[in-house]
Structure 1
Amino acid sequence: MSHKIAILGASGYTGAELVRLIATHPGLEIAALAANSKAGQDMAQVFPHLRHLDLPVLVTIDEIDFADIDLCFCALPHKTSQEVISALPRDLKIVDLSADFRLRDPAAYERWYGNPHAAPELQKEAVYGLTEFYRDEIRAARLVAGTGCNAATGQYLLRPLISAGVIDLDEIILDLKCGVSGAGRSLKENLLHAELSEGYHAYALGSTHRHLGEFDQEFTALAGREVKVQFTPHLIPANRGILATGYVHGDAAKVHAALAAAYAGEPFIEVLPLGEAPSTRHVRGSNFCHIGVVADRREGRTILVGALDNLTKGSSGQALQNANLMLDIQETEGLMMAPVFP
């Protein structure tokens, strides 16, 4: 059985990544592609690397007939998704890739994003889309909120350790580097090649990065007490990839054992042998996340390293993983491609 899907925001990086992944998915058919600013154009004009595919012409969202659509991916900008999704049919399954439905508390959303939520009832309905930890809820959901790519990487490192009680919850430092595609496709002066190349920089230091809202929400709920990580993101002159380094107070062998046990049956999470560290080049273009654990020279201190592709496992691949569950398709379908190397 083939399910018809629509992608809203198909002219962005995550929209194009969805097309790339779904193109060889045996159970999904791309029935509609929307990109209001590029409406009327062929996808090949916007993304020449997809010219070999037979795809619908880009249209505006208003031009799509959702009557025959089984599931819709919303790869739209933050604040736009909530307004668009509010107007979509109430029986339509939706996977949202924006930040609009990630936070359950309307007050928390307003605090982190600076404006009241336009669809608080939908916000209450949405299921957080970190697949490995919300499978049952996602399978039964109508609306799934994809995680932030930084937030996903940090959670893959830390959630099993919080659950197992093997680290000090008041001593967690997360240092993260992300490729420039994580900032989206819109033209921004600080993302010009001359501004970005041959260096990298920290941004949103202290308490300003919005993915902190996801860490606070998820880690606090998991621990049953307030957990606030120290988090610094960096923008690196690479197209894809996230490398997160975590510093925790806990025994390396116990930390490694907790991660290995938590992810033993997971098809996309690979815990490396104790002492090995991953690289973004080993997960590029894939839905895999590699995790390494290394003992620090100080006794009782451990270094964690996680690597994933921000556009795949951190966004569009995760979205497809969730859609598979929502449509009762094998979770790994369309996602087992090997990473691109070198």
Structure 2
Amino acid sequence: MGDSGRLSVGIIGASGYGGVQLVRLLMEHPGVEVVYLGGNSSAGKKFSDLYPHLGNLVDLTIEPIDLDAIASRCQAVFLSLPNGLAHTIAPTLISKGCKVLDLSADYRFKNLDTYKNWYGGERQDQEVAGTAIYGLPELYRDRIAQAQLIGCPGCYVTTSLLALAPLLKQGLIEPDTAVIDAKSGTSGGGRAAKTNLLLAEADNSV
């Protein structure tokens, strides 16, 4: 625990859409002390300048990503990064004793062949990926509590599993009869500009 008796936590990718919600939630958590906010593009900027509505909660400056410095200050680190980046960071943090919680898709699959089929890209961290625990506490709370690496599920899967799991557990539905019709707003694609997510491209597309 940190000097305050709370868990000392860092967030890499703190200025993105996922990161800012993490900051908001963790700053209000009684058992957590946020001691580091990291990001390359926003390094040197005060978080409250980027998100004034959270100025009453956060008085931290976004710092460059320095894994040695992060590991020396943080017991747990959240990675709020685009797919394909967390796996370049997580193994080092784990080796330095940090618990890592990844919000991207990088550690949702223990088998990297499955990851490659869905997201592409070459990975060399099969041993690390094999240790990841699926971060849905409603189903895997005990395993998560003991895990060093947690791969957090995405929005579609979370919505679907939380709805279906109780019904499946009670035998009220057959697994192969479930139909999931899910839709997401364009903000689900992250903060970076993407042509296919512009209003002119996405409007009236459903």
Aligned to 2:139: 133
Report the number of matched residues.
Answer: 200
Fraction of identical pairs, as percent: 38
Task: Decide whether the 8 Å contact of 1:5 with 1:69 is kept in 2.
Answer: yes
Aligned to 1:186: 192
Distance 2:162 2:205 in 1: 24
Aligned to 2:111: 105
Aligned to 2:23: 19
Kindly indicate which of the two structures has a greater share of residues assigned to strand.
1
Going from structure 1 to structure 2, the CA distance change for 1:49 and 1:111 (only over 3 Å counts) comes to same
Aligned to 2:181: 175
Structure 1 position 114 matched with structure 2 position 131: no
| TM-fit CA distance, 1:32 | 0.7
Aligned to 2:34: 30
Task: Give the 3-state SS of the residue equivalent to 1:36 in structure 2.
Answer: coil
Structure 1 segments (4+ residues) deviating >3 Å? 193-197
Distance 2:164 2:132 in 1: 23
1:165-195 CA-partner distances (Å, limit 9, x unpaired):
3223332211012222211111012322343
| TM-fit CA distance, 1:50 | 1.8
Structure 1 position 166 matched with structure 2 position 182: no
Distance 1:29 1:55 in 2: 12
Q: Kindly provide the amino acid, as one letter, of the partner of residue 103 in structure 1.
A: F
Which of the numbers 197, 201, 205 marks the counterpart of 1:195? 201
Task: Decide whether the 8 Å contact of 2:102 with 2:151 is kept in 1.
Answer: yes
Distance 1:185 1:9 in 2: 11
Aligned to 1:152: 158
After TM superposition, the score normalised by the length of structure 2 is 0.89
Task: Give the 3-state SS of the residue equivalent to 2:107 in structure 1.
Answer: coil
Distance 2:65 2:45 in 1: 14
After TM superposition, the score normalised by the length of structure 1 is 0.55
Decide which structure has the larger Cα Rg and report it. 1
Q: Kindly provide the amino acid, as one letter, of the partner of residue 6 in structure 2.
A: S
Which of the numbers 12, 15, 18 marks the counterpart of 1:8? 12
Distance 1:104 1:89 in 2: 16
Kindly indicate which of the two structures has a greater share of residues assigned to helix.
2
Q: After alignment, is 105-114 or 150-159 more displaced?
A: 105-114
| TM-fit CA distance, 1:67 | 1.4
Task: Decide whether the 8 Å contact of 1:10 with 1:34 is kept in 2.
Answer: yes
1:95-144 CA-partner distances (Å, limit 9, x unpaired):
11110010122221121122233311111111001110001101111111
Distance 2:16 2:185 in 1: 15
1:13-63 CA-partner distances (Å, limit 9, x unpaired):
111001111222222111110011111111123222222234321111117
Task: Give the 3-state SS of the residue equivalent to 1:104 in structure 2.
Answer: coil
Structure 1 position 66 matched with structure 2 position 71: yes
Task: Decide whether the 8 Å contact of 1:74 with 1:96 is kept in 2.
Answer: yes
Task: Give the 3-state SS of the residue equivalent to 2:181 in structure 1.
Answer: strand
Q: Kindly provide the amino acid, as one letter, of the partner of residue 66 in structure 2.
A: D
Structure-to-structure mapping, 1:266-281, within 5 angstroms: none
Aligned to 1:86: 91
Distance 1:149 1:96 in 2: 14
Task: Give the 3-state SS of the residue equivalent to 1:59 in structure 2.
Answer: coil
Gaps in structure 1 of 5+ consecutive residues: 202-342
Distance 2:70 2:10 in 1: 10
Q: Kindly provide the amino acid, as one letter, of the partner of residue 5 in structure 1.
A: V
